[in-house]
Structures are given as C-alpha cells and as structure tokens.
C-alpha cells in the first residue's frame, strides 16, 4: 500500500480498500463512490473527433473488479453513504433512503450508453435529479478537459452529491473506488477532508497528478 498526503486532510492511497476500511469506519467517514458492479465494461468504440474521448484512446482497457457482482454490504454500516450504479444491485440495498438521478443527455438524443445513471443515498427520501450534459466532447461542465477515466463523472455532479449529505468542514469523505479522483476534487473544493483508494496503478497515478494539480489551483474549471 502506498499512502500519499496531498495536503492536510487529503490523502490518496494505492491499494485495496479492505486494508483501510476499518480505519475509515472508526473515523466515521462518509462514503461517496462509483464502484465496479459486474458489467465487464471496457469502453465502446467511438468516432469522436479531437482525440479527447477516453474510450477512443483506451478502448481495450478493462475495469478492475468489474467481472463480478458488487456487494454493497461493507459500506451500508457507515453513517452516510452514496453508491453509484446502484440499480445494478438494488435488491441488496435497504428499502429506505433516496435515489439520485444524473441526467447526462439533457434532452439531446440518446446514444449507445444510458441516458441517466442512478445512485442510492442513505439520506433523505424520494428521487432527486441532477442535469449535466456529458456526451463525448459535448459537456455541461469541464468542457475541453481531457477525460481521465472510462467511467468518469463530472466534478459538479459529485459536489451536488456531497452537498446533499449536509457535510461540514470537519467531515471526512472516503472513496474506496476512487478512479481518477473526481470525488476528491469535489471534496477539496468544498473544504472537506478526503481519502481516496485506487487499486489500479495507472488510475492511481492519474488521480495523484490530478489532486496535486488541484492544490496548485490549476484544476478550477467548474
């Protein structure tokens, strides 16, 4: 395991989440994560111009852990939880809580991927919608930025998620499937503590560079 302190209160870890879960539970961390959930998804071929589309450049890369069903039970004992992709394992989730919907088409035409993505949230009730276009080079936020990860989501979306949990400056956010660190960027911009854990060495290095860049003030595109 490699642990890197980005700045006070922000840590980036290369390793398996099982090595740190107990520590995070004792620290009463908040869970916000987008886990692999058994789709064996490795990207799709695209014809996006400009060379900035992640799938076009890395279509043969597979997601680690995405070849088996996801078990949410290790995370349901935490006090506040947001789990993306939860429609794929909804039968394993509690009946209460709320559902978060990310509308990533905003009325534009569909493509081969889903029009929306869903997350289960332990807080609140009902269904809440966040709209942000995210379709190749067509983006409602972070326009023109290079994609870092095959299942990357907008920083604005993750900030909206964290805001729904009513967190304060002393709260710690833990992302056990941290990818390129999007939750970390959102947490840093909100002044929250953050620990991200990523097992893939390539994505770990990408996230490390991204979070370091954020501390220098170069990653402030909203």
Q: Which helix (H) or strand (E) holds 197?
A: strand 193-198
Torsion region of 52: left, alpha or beta (phi above 0 gives left; psi -120 to 50 gives alpha): alpha
Overall average pLDDT of the 77-91 stretch: 97
Query: Angle of helix 182-189 relative to helix 201-215, nearest 10 degrees?
Result: 20
182-186, 209-213, 216-220, range with the lowest pLDDT: 216-220
Beta strands 193-198 and 10-14: pairing type? Answer: parallel
More confident residue, 110 or 5: 5
Query: Residue 55: pLDDT above 80?
Result: no
Instruction: Give the burial string for 195-209 (b: 16+ CB within 10 Å, else e).
Output: bbbbbbeebbebbbe
Pairing of strands 116-121, 81-84: antiparallel
Q: What is the mean pLDDT of residues 26-32?
A: 98
What is the reported pTM? Answer: 0.83
Q: What is the pLDDT of residues 198-216, one digit of tens each?
A: 999 999 999 999 999 999 8
CB 72 within 8 A of CB 93: yes
The residue ranges of every structural domain in the chain are 2-215
Q: Which among 118, 85, 87, 80 has a CA at the least distance from the CA of 101?
A: 118
Q: Which fold has domain 2-215?
A: Rossmann fold (3.40.50)
pLDDT at 52 over 90: no
Q: List pLDDT tens digits, range 105-122.
A: 877 767 677 889 999 999
């Amino acid at each position: 395991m490699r642990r890197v302190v980005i700045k006070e209160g922000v840590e980036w870890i290369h390793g398996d989440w099982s090595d740190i879960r107990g520590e995070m539970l004792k620290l009463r961390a908040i869970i916000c994560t987008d886990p692999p959930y058994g789709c064996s998804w490795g990207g799709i071929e695209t014809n996006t111009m400009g060379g900035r589309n992640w799938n076009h450049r890395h279509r043969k890369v597979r997601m680690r852990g995405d070849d088996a069903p996801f078990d949410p039970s290790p995370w349901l004992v935490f006090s506040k939880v947001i789990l993306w992709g939860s429609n794929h394992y909804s039968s394993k989730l509690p009946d209460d809580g709320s559902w978060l919907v990310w509308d990533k088409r905003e009325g534009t035409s569909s493509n081969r991927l889903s029009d929306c993505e869903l997350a289960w949230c332990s807080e609140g009730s009902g269904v809440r919608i966040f709209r942000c276009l995210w379709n190749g080079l067509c983006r409602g936020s972070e326009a023109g930025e290079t994609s870092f990860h095959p299942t990357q989501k907008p920083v604005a979306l993750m900030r909206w998620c964290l805001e729904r949990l009513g967190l304060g400056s002393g709260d710690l956010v833990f992302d056990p499937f941290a990818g390129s660190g999007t939750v970390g960027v959102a947490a840093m911009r909100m002044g929250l503590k953050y620990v991200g854990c990523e097992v893939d060495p390539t994505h770990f290095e990408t996230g490390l560079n991204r979070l370091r860049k954020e501390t220098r003030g170069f990653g402030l595109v909203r």
